[in-house]
Amino acid sequence: MKKDDCIFCKIAAGEIGSHTLYEDEDFRVIFDLNPGTKGHALVIPKEHADGIFDMDDETASKVLVVAKKVATAMKEAFNADGFNIIQNNGECAGQSVKHFHMHLFPRYEGDKALGLWKPGQTTDEELQVLEDKVKEILN
Ligand code: 5GP
Ligand code: ZN
């Protein structure tokens, strides 16, 4: 289903033009409008979901296969030294467009394009509490 006021629904459907690196029945892969590095691209499902939590399992199961295929071509095409695959959910996690998308983010030696988390510390007891909480929901 498409969402009327969603820019990524319109881009994925081809109603708004884009440089399309790859397209199939379920996805369109385009360049990011404001690239963090050379070649930064987005995998956009044609089916609207706000993020990972409301995405259907079928689309979810296909998205990494598409990401792998296009990222492999991009890495070779752009001579990238490394690659981040990033997927943000929720404002506090950096999501600005509320239509699921996966960033294909080529990295180049010394680019300093991303700051990742500061490694923290934990305890076995703390991990046990967290593990039990998740398992209670999953089981
Ligand atoms: P988010 O922050 O939600 O994970 O990522 C959204 C990304 O979409 C941003 O990197 C932003 O530059 C990109 N973006 C936003 N609007 C457009 C658009 O209209 N066209 C394209 N190609 N990229 C867009
Ligand atoms: Zn949408």
Sole residue written with tokens 């990494």: 64
Q: Span 6-27, mean pLDDT? A: 97
Could you confirm whether 48 is annotated as catalytic?
no
Task: Please tell me which residue in 40, 99, 101, 103 is annotated as part of the active site.
Answer: 101
User: What's the count of helices (H) and strands (E) in the chain, helices before strands?
Assistant: 3, 5
The CA–CA distances, whole Å, from 111 to 11, 35, 36, 56, 77 equal 29, 13, 10, 35, 18
Smallest-distance ligand from the CA of 101: 1
pTM over 0.85: yes
Counting from 1 in the atom list of ligand 1, the atom nearest the Cα of 101 is 4
> Dihedral sign, CA of 22, 95, 97, 78?
negative
Which pLDDT does position 94 carry in this prediction?
94
Neighbours of 43 (CB within 10 A): 26
Return d(Cα 101, Cα 127) in angstroms, integer.
30
User: From the CA of 109, how far away is ligand 1's center (Å)?
Assistant: 24
In the predicted model, what is the mean pLDDT of the chain? 97
Q: Span 27-33, mean pLDDT? A: 98
Which pLDDT does position 116 carry in this prediction?
84
User: From the CA of 127, how far away is ligand 2's center (Å)?
Assistant: 36
Nearest partner of 21 among 62, 76, 61, 60, judged by Cα: 76
Smallest-distance ligand from the CA of 6: 2
The total number of residues shown for the chain amounts to 139
Q: Span 54-76, mean pLDDT? A: 98
Assess whether pLDDT exceeds 90 at residue 10: yes
